[in-house]
Structure 1
């Protein structure tokens, strides 16, 4: 199963942390992950780091976007259409914590909170050049 193309598949995990350097060191030693900084990003935003097992990207790591926000792991679920999924989630009682946004070279995503309070992200990935038929 290709998790980046399969609707409903968990496809990415991301750590928001108060100390990215210490977190990278901890998880690197614990799981053998390497950390690679990703170029780009919005001006003034903390650098985004990709966590890898060998050459395979398995997750991401960045600073918490707001001071005082507790560190947490977040999950991403692949969807066929972010707009439709967000609209359906709203109708089902979910809150939209972060409206749909474009992530250059990655896709379109939004952050939702289910009616019980659990937070998750939905994403539709862009088609990569080597994936085009």
Structure 2
């Protein structure tokens, strides 16, 4: 894992939640020349997006808990400690939309909303 994933405050991952992952993969492969690596997960397939040899994001079906949401790209920003950052978000008037959650073999993330309504995910990666 390169230093970008470990740098507090750096954008480190982009993720598309979509109604048609197959069509999205075909589109982005052609537009950006990305390669794709499917990873079966419980109840779905998660596709890791690669620019050259570097993993830069993912594509996944919209999960049941987000049913009815429009397809959208989301960004992850690395933080040193998701749980500590959640406390700061709350103190500053933000909301926690998805509480800190472990992603096996990856790290711990959450989805926050700033006081103006914009959303972004925070993640602390598991040391490799």
Higher strand share: 2
Q: Does 1:17 align with 2:15?
A: no
**C-alpha distance in 1, partners of 2:51/2:76?**
19
Instruction: Compute the displacement of 1:54 (Å).
Output: 2.1
**C-alpha distance in 1, partners of 2:126/2:49?**
20
User: 1:65-76 maps to which residues of 2 (within 5 A)?
Assistant: 65=63, 66-76=66-76
**C-alpha distance in 2, partners of 1:67/1:101?**
19
The count of corresponding residues between Structure 1 and Structure 2 is 125
Instruction: Compute the displacement of 1:67 (Å).
Output: 2.7
Instruction: Compute the displacement of 1:56 (Å).
Output: 1.2
Q: Which runs of 5+ in 2 are unaligned?
A: none
Q: Which runs of 5+ in 1 are unaligned?
A: 129-133
Question: Per the alignment, in what secondary structure is the counterpart of residue 85 of structure 1?
Answer: helix
Quote the RMSD (CA, aligned, Å): 1.2
- Give the match for residue 53 of structure 2: 55
**C-alpha distance in 1, partners of 2:110/2:58?**
16
What stretches of structure 1 move > 4 A for 4+ residues in a row?
Answer: none
**C-alpha distance in 2, partners of 1:12/1:85?**
18
